[in-house]
Amino acid sequence: MACRAGCASSFCAVSRGHEGGMAALRRFLARRPGAVQALTAGALMGAGDVIAQQLVEQRGLRGHHSQRTLKMTAIGFCFVGPVVGGWYRILDRLIPGATKTVAVKKMVLDQGAFAPCFLGCFLAITGAVNGLSVEQNWAKIQQDYVDALLTNYCIWPPVQIANFYFVPLAHRLAVVQCVAIVWNCYLSWKANRL
């Protein structure tokens, strides 16, 4: 079958398939934004853990903890995607608009109120999933929280201003999660370091 330009090359056939796939993804995102956001967050949290284990911790394939990767993927799917996606919808209702001033206000609320709570919950959930007792989990949170929050403040404010100003609501979590591969790598390393 020929493309719109009349060519029958395999490149155009692949391009047509890609266009169809992207259209299907856009339709699915419009119908089920929460599901897409959860799947995206899960996949990218898993990717961040693989990067943490292979590049930061240099475990190698034989030393890779696949259970840890599955746990981080599950946390992304069950916690990060739904919570962050829901937060962006709430934030858009609280502070409507897309001006530079609105983007800065959203970033201040995001980083001043949401990020500290979210990070504490993330560390607590990760500790619980990793089997830490309540006392061990609390000690780990006390050990890691301030450092993780300060690192958060070095990375996220400029990313979030750009995200809130340029990116439509339906795509914000995906943009954040793409940038967050590095952040997820850090969080995975921090949360799983004993």
Is residue 182 classed as helix, strand or coil in its secondary structure? helix
Q: pLDDT (tens digit, 9 = 90+) per residue, 35-47?
A: 888 998 899 889 9
Q: Domain boundaries in the chain?
A: 7-192
Amino acid identity for residue 6 in this structure: G
Q: Look at residue 52 and tell me whether its pLDDT is greater than 50.
A: yes
Q: pLDDT (tens digit, 9 = 90+) per residue, 85-140?
A: 899 899 999 999 989 999 999 999 999 999 999 999 999 999 999 999 999 999 99
Please list, residue by residue across 62-101, b when 16 or more beta carbons sit within 10 angstroms of its beta carbon and e when fewer do.
Answer: eeeeeebbebbbebbbebbbbbbbebbbebbeebeeeeee
Q: Look at residue 65 and tell me whether its pLDDT is greater than 50.
A: yes
pLDDT of residue 103: 94
Q: DSSP letters along 40-108, please?
A: HHHHHHHHHHHHIIIIIS--HHHH--HHHHHHHHHHIIIIIHHHHHHHHHHHHHHS---SHHHHHHHHH
- Measured between its terminal Cα atoms, the distance across the chain in Å is 58
Mean pLDDT for 27-53 is 87
Q: Look at residue 66 and tell me whether its pLDDT is greater than 90.
A: yes
For 114, which DSSP code? I
Q: Look at residue 14 and tell me whether its pLDDT is greater than 50.
A: no
For 174, which DSSP code? H
Q: What percent of the chain has pLDDT over 70?
A: 89
Q: Look at residue 194 and tell me whether its pLDDT is greater than 50.
A: yes
State the Cα–Cα distance between residues 89 and 171, nearest whole angstrom: 11
Higher pLDDT, 29 or 98: 98
Which tokens go with 69? 């990767």
State the Cα–Cα distance between residues 68 and 74, nearest whole angstrom: 10
pTM equals 0.78
Q: Report yes or no: 75 and 41 within 8 Å, Cβ to Cβ.
A: no
pLDDT band at 2 (very low <50, low <70, confident <90, very high): very low
